[in-house]
Structure 1
Amino acid sequence: MKRKRARVRKPPSTNPPPIHPLQLAESSGWHDGYRAGSEHGYHHGRCAVVLERIPPDQGVKWGLRVLYVQPKEALPYVPIDLGIIDALRGLVAELVVCKPTDDVVGLAASIRPDVVLVLDSIHSLPIEKARAIRELGIRTAVWFTDDPYYTDVTQHIAPCYDYVFTTELTCVAFYRDLGCREVHYLPFGINRAATKPVRVGTPYRSDICFIGTAYWNRVELIDRIADYLAGKNTIIIGYWWDRLKNYEKLKDKIKLGQWMSPEETLNYFSGAKIVINLHRLHDDPTFNQNSRNIPAVSVNPRMFEIGGSGAFQLTDMRGDLYNVYTPGVDLAVYHSPEDLIGKLEHYLTHEEERRAMALNALARTVRDHTYRSRLNQLFGIVASPQTVGG
C-alpha cells in the first residue's frame, strides 16, 4: 500500500500582487480621508466633553421691559444681532424687537420700556428719533458695532444717548471727550446655542483657513506667504482677494466675493486645523471714516467666533488681547509673515498641542465671552436697583 505523499505548502509570498496605479491612488486617498475624518471626529468629541462640563450661564433675570432696535444693514451683523436677541429673551421680563424703519418713537411711547437698546451699524436709528425717545423720559443705550472705523459718523450719534457702549477700548475716552457721561467698553461675544463645534464633511476641511475682507494689510500678509499657502490645503474666503499680486498662484484656494452666512462660517472654522485671524488696520483707506486716526487695540468679534467653534487660532497681536485670552494657552500669536509660516508649520505638525489650545479657547469662550454675559454687564450699568428681578 502506497503512502500518500504529504502536500508541502509553499510559504506565502512576501511580494504582494501588482496593483494598478489607479487602485493604489484610490487606496491611498481612502486611507487619507479616513484618517482625516477620524481626527476631525476625535477633536469634535473632545469639544463635546468641554461643553458638557460647562453648563450654560443662566445669569440674572432682569425685571426689565426692553425695546431692542436692530441694525440698519443686516448682512454683516447677522450673528451679532441674532446672538443679542437670543440672549435678551432669556434675560429680561419683556422684549420687543423692531427695525430702524419702524415707528420706534411711537412704539416706545406706547410700551414705555425701561430701556431702548440700539445696535448701531453706521447710524441705524436717525438722530432725531433717538432724541425724541430721550425726551419721553426713557433711558436709551447704543452699542456701536465698528469702532473706531466710523467715528466720523458715530461722534454725532453718541451724544444723543444716555449710555454708550463701544467695542473699542480707545473709543471710551473719545466719546467722553464729546460730553457723553456714561461710556463703557463692551466687546461682542458668541451665542452659545449657535456658535459651537460642528462635524463637517471634506469640502469644509482645511489645513489653514482665513475668512474676511481683503483689506490691504491682509493682502500684503497673504502675498508674503503665498508660496507656503500654495503647498497646503488652504481656504481663503471673502471680497477683493483678486487684489493679491499672487492671486493666480492661489486662486484655486480662494472663494472670491462670497458673503458667508454664520452657519457656513462656522462650518469652515470647525473643519480647519488652523484659522488665521488678522485684524483690520485703523487707518486702512477702504471704507474708513476715522479721520482722527483713533488707534484700534481691541480684538475683533471673529476672535470669539473662532474660539467658540473649537478651532485653533493663530492671530496677530492686539493690545487688549490679554484681557480676553491667554496667548500660548488659548491661542497663538504671530508677529511677522516669517513668524506666521514658522508657527503654521509647528502647529500643523504638533497636533496634540494645537488641539489642547483649541479646547482651552473653547472653554474660555463659553465661560466668559457669551452675549448673555455681555448683556448682564450692560444691564448692571443701565438698570436701576428697582428694575432688578429675582
Structure 2
Amino acid sequence: MKILLFKYTTLGYKDLYQSLVGMGHEVVYVEYVPKSYEEDPYMEDLLMGRLSAESFDAVISFNYFQVISKVCFCYRISYIAWVWDSPLLTLYSPTIYNDTNYIFIFDKILYRSFKKQGINTVFHLPLAVNHKRLEQMKIDDWDLEKYTADISFVGRLYMKKISYDSMATLPDYCKGYIEAIMQAQTKIHGYNFLEEVLTEEVMKGICSRTEFYLGEKFTGSLRKVIADMFLGTKVTQLERTETLRNLAFHHVINLYTDESIDILPEVNHMGGVDYYDEMPKVFRLSKINLNITHRTIQSGIPLRIFDIMGAGGFVLTNYQPEISELFSEGEELVVYYDTEDLLRKVEYYLIHEEERRKIAEAGCNKVRTFHNYEVRLNQMLQIVQERQQAGEGDVNQ
C-alpha cells in the first residue's frame, strides 16, 4: 500500500513510519501543526495538494483530525486514525460519520459510547509498542548509574494551572460538592462516576464562572467535557501527588516529569526524559515502575503500561477493567486496588527480586509478541480491507 502519514508531533511517528516501511508499505509523510481542529484552510490545501499530485491507498495519523476526515471523504480515500488520547474532543464532530473513516479507540467504554449512537466508523483496539526499537536498546555503565532505582514514576502531575483552577470563585456549595466527589473518585478505580453525579445546580455554577467554547459543530456533551477535562484532570493531580507522597514516607521515589514542581520535596525530581532513548532505560532499570492512569481513561490500558512492559520493566499499576483481557495479573504485571494494597505490594516486590524479574520478563515477552506495532497495523489494515469487501466505506469510487 501507498500511505500518506500525517505528522504533527514527534512522539510515536518515528515508530509508526519505521513499522509501516518494515511491513513493505510505501510511506510518504506530510508535516503540519494544525491552527484549528474544525477549519484550517491551509491544512486542507496542503492535504488536497498531496492527494491530487499522487495516488494513495490511505492516510494515517495518530489521534483524529476533522480536516483530514473531510478531505479523505471528498477524495474517497481511507482515513486511519489511531487514537492515543481518551477522551479526544475532536471525535465529537459530524465528520465522525464519514464512511471513509477508520477510527481506532483503545478505551472500550468510550468506543461503546460511540457505537450506541449508531456510529460505525469506530473500532476498539488496544495500544502497542515498537518492539524492534526496544529490542535494540543498549545499557551501559553510565545508564546503570543514572537510571537504576527502586521506584520510578514517569508522568505529569498537572501542577501547572489547569482548567479546574479557573473555578476558584465558585459558590461555596458548588465548590464543596465538587471537592467531595473528586476526593471520593480518587478512592475508586475502574469506574469513573464524575459525569453521573454532576447535578444541574453544580453545572450552572461552573458554567457561570467559566467560558466554554467547543466549536460550532461540537456534538459532545458539555457535562462530559466538564467531568473529564476539568474535574478528571484535577482528580489525576490529586491522586498522583497523594500516591507519591504516601510512598515517599517509606521509600525512595524517582519522579520523571518535564514540569517545574515546587511540591513533593520527599521525592527525587529527575526532570523529563526522552521518549525514545531515555524513558525505556528508566523502565528497564527501575525495580518497580508505577502507572497511575489519567482519570479520563475509563476502562482502557494506557500507553505507559505497554511502554514499561515492552522495555522489560516491572509495572505496578492501578486497576483498569481491560487489563485482565490482555494480561495475567501477578504473572505479567501487578495491579493494586487501593493505597494500602499499593504499599503492601511495593514492600513485597522490592525484596522478592526473582519473582519480580520473572513477571517483568513474561510481561515483556507478551507485549513484544502480541502487542507490537506490526500486529496492530495488520489488525487495522485487515479491518479496512474486510469493511471495503463488505461494501462498507468503499473508496476510490
After TM superposition, the score normalised by the length of structure 2 is 0.68
1:302 to 296, 301, 304: 304
* 8 Å CA contact 2:19, 2:374 repeated in 1: yes
1:241 shift after superposition = 7.2
1:259 shift after superposition = 5.3
What amino acid is aligned across from residue 255 of structure 1 in structure 2?
A: M
Partner of 1:323: 325
1:191 shift after superposition = 0.6
What amino acid is aligned across from residue 84 of structure 1 in structure 2?
A: L
Runs of 4+ in 1 over 6 A off after TM superposition: none
Pair 1:277-2:291 in alignment: yes
In structure 2, C-alpha distance between the alignment counterparts of 1:379 and 1:132, rounded to whole Å: 20
In structure 2, C-alpha distance between the alignment counterparts of 1:329 and 1:224, rounded to whole Å: 24
* 8 Å CA contact 2:96, 2:121 repeated in 1: no
1:94 shift after superposition = 1.9
SS in 2 for 1:306: helix
1:359 to 313, 337, 361: 361
SS in 1 for 2:134: coil
Return closer, same or farther for 1:114/1:243 CA change in 2, 3 Å cut-off. same
Return closer, same or farther for 1:94/1:224 CA change in 2, 3 Å cut-off. closer
Aligned length: 295
Shifted more, 231-240 versus 373-382: the winner is 231-240
1:68 shift after superposition = 1.7
What amino acid is aligned across from residue 14 of structure 2 in structure 1?
A: L
Return closer, same or farther for 1:339/1:241 CA change in 2, 3 Å cut-off. farther
In structure 1, C-alpha distance between the alignment counterparts of 2:243 and 2:380, rounded to whole Å: 42
Pair 1:209-2:152 in alignment: yes
In structure 2, C-alpha distance between the alignment counterparts of 1:218 and 1:331, rounded to whole Å: 24
Partner of 2:4: 67
1:228 shift after superposition = 4.1
1:352 shift after superposition = 0.6
What amino acid is aligned across from residue 333 of structure 2 in structure 1?
A: L
2:53 to 89, 102, 110: 110
Partner of 2:114: 175
In structure 1, C-alpha distance between the alignment counterparts of 2:259 and 2:277, rounded to whole Å: 22
In structure 1, C-alpha distance between the alignment counterparts of 2:257 and 2:69, rounded to whole Å: 34
What amino acid is aligned across from residue 86 of structure 1 in structure 2?
A: Q
Structure 1: segments with no counterpart, 5+ residues: 1-63, 283-294
Pair 1:132-2:71 in alignment: yes
Shifted more, 199-208 versus 228-237: the winner is 228-237
In structure 2, C-alpha distance between the alignment counterparts of 1:341 and 1:243, rounded to whole Å: 25
SS in 1 for 2:278: helix
Partner of 1:372: 374
* 8 Å CA contact 2:102, 2:384 repeated in 1: yes
Return closer, same or farther for 1:218/1:277 CA change in 2, 3 Å cut-off. farther
* 8 Å CA contact 1:66, 1:92 repeated in 2: no
Pair 1:238-2:257 in alignment: yes
1:94 to 26, 31, 50: 26
* 8 Å CA contact 2:129, 2:373 repeated in 1: yes
SS in 2 for 1:209: strand
What amino acid is aligned across from residue 223 of structure 1 in structure 2?
A: E
* 8 Å CA contact 1:225, 1:341 repeated in 2: no
SS in 2 for 1:263: coil
1:108 shift after superposition = 1.5
After TM superposition, the score normalised by the length of structure 1 is 0.69
Return closer, same or farther for 1:334/1:139 CA change in 2, 3 Å cut-off. same
1:362 shift after superposition = 0.8
In structure 2, C-alpha distance between the alignment counterparts of 1:344 and 1:356, rounded to whole Å: 16
Partner of 2:219: none
% same residue: 22
Could you report, residue by residue, the CA deviation over 1:361-383 in whole angstroms, capped at 9, with x for unpaired residues?
Answer: 01101110100000000000112
* 8 Å CA contact 2:105, 2:124 repeated in 1: yes
1:87 shift after superposition = 1.1
1:83 shift after superposition = 1.7
In structure 2, C-alpha distance between the alignment counterparts of 1:134 and 1:240, rounded to whole Å: 40
SS in 2 for 1:343: helix
* 8 Å CA contact 1:275, 1:312 repeated in 2: yes
Partner of 2:278: 264
Return closer, same or farther for 1:227/1:376 CA change in 2, 3 Å cut-off. closer
RMSD: 2.4
What amino acid is aligned across from residue 307 of structure 2 in structure 1?
A: E
Partner of 1:159: 97
Pair 1:223-2:160 in alignment: no
